[in-house]
Amino acid sequence: MSYKFSYLRCLCALSLVALSSPVMAQGFFGELRERVGTAVEEHSANMPVLNVKQIPQSADRKFADNEGDAAEEESVPEISVDDLPEPGEGPVVVTEEDFNAFQSLFLKPWQRKEIFDIRNFQGDVYEAYIAELRAEREREAMQEALKTDQEEREQRSEKVKPPEEKRYIHLQGILYTSADQWVVWMNGQKITPEALPREVVGFKVYESYVEMRWFDEYTNKIIPLRLQPMQRFHIDSRMFLPG
- Does 145 or 44 have the greater pLDDT score? 145
Q: Which tens digit of pLDDT belongs to each residue from 93-140?
A: 666 666 666 676 677 777 777 777 777 777 676 777 778 888 888 888
Mean pLDDT taken over the chain: 74
- Choose among 214, 162, 169: nearest CA to 188: 169
Q: Does a structural domain hold residue 21?
A: no
Domain closes at, from 103, 123, 158: 158
Lowest average pLDDT, out of 16-20, 83-87, 196-200, goes to: 16-20
* Whether 190 and 105 share a structural domain: no
Are residues 169 and 137 part of one domain?
no
Number of structural domains found in the chain: 2
Tell me which DSSP letter residue 166 carries. Answer: G
Tell me if 81 sits within 8 A of 130, measured CB to CB: yes
Percent of residues, the chain, with pLDDT higher than 70: 58
pLDDT for position 191: 94
pLDDT per residue over 55-67, tens digit each? 444 444 444 445 5
Q: Which of 130, 158, 186 is the last residue of a domain?
A: 158
> What residues make up the domain containing 80?
61-158
CA 112/CA 106 separation, integer angstroms: 10
Residue 26 lies in a domain: no
Using a pLDDT cut of 90, give the percent of the chain over it.
25
Neighbours of 193 (CB within 10 A): 13
Contact 18, 24 (CB under 8 A): yes
Pair (185, 237) in one structural domain: yes
Bridge partners of 63, per DSSP, are 74
More confident residue, 160 or 75: 160
Helix (H) or strand (E) holding 129: helix 123-158
- Give the pLDDT band (50/70/90) at residue 176: very high
Phi, psi at residue 104, to the nearest 5°?
Answer: -85, 140
How confident is the model at residue 64, as a pLDDT? 46
Q: Residue 83 carries which side chain, given as an amino acid letter? A: D
One domain for residues 75 and 94: yes
Residues 204-216 have a mean pLDDT of 93
Do 210 and 135 reside in the same domain of the chain?
A: no
Residues 199 and 238 in one domain: yes
| Phi-psi map region of 146: left, alpha, beta (phi>0 left; psi -120 to 50 alpha) | alpha
Task: Give 52 or 160, the one with higher predicted confidence.
Answer: 160
pLDDT of residue 117: 74
